[in-house]
Amino acid sequence: MNCDVDNKMTTQEFLAMLQNSDKDKRTELINGQMVQIAPMKPRQAKLIVNCANLITTHLYNQKSSCFCFTKMICKIDEHNCPQPDILVVCNDSVHGELLAHPTVVGEIFSSNRSNDMKKLARYKKCPSIFEILMIEQNKMQITLHKKTKWGNGRMRLIMQASVFI
């Protein structure tokens, strides 16, 4: 379902609508518009689980108070509530089905690179997000974008690494 472009749906309206919708359908709010998410493919699901397990193990070993989640809705701003593939939250910002202030997000690249770049741009604007992992499906590569302390909190590419997931 899409709203009229002039009538952008807010985060509150979106969450209220989700309460009365089919829980099996994956939906996110992008620029005030409700967008259906395509069903996940087995390879993507496996990558998400493997990455989440690696992150969770790392957080546990570091005795961190942060938690790793998968496929949760997070609030970026008043008109954007995406469902990143992986989220890390390091505060008390879990409210029902919503994660208000993720610290790290991870996305498995889809076949639509244009959408992936739009997601990356949205995540870069979120003040609470300090790291973004962009994970390739078809080759062993993770790209890390990290907010720096210099340059007004702008994000910059930190590394591209070949890894086995």
Ranges of each domain in the chain: 40-161
For residue 151, what pLDDT band results from cuts at 50, 70 and 90? very low
CA angle, residues 43, 94, 70, in degrees to nearest 5: 5
- Digit-coded pLDDT (tens) for 16-61: 888 877 766 789 999 999 999 888 889 889 999 999 999 999 999 9
Topology at the third CATH level for domain 40-161: tt1808, chain A (3.90.1570)
Least confident of 13-27, 65-79, 118-132: 13-27
- Distance separating alpha carbons of residues 144 and 42, to the nearest angstrom: 24
% of the chain beyond a pLDDT of 70: 81
> What number of CA atoms fall less than 13 Å from residue 30's CA on the CB side?
19
Per the document, the length of the chain is 165
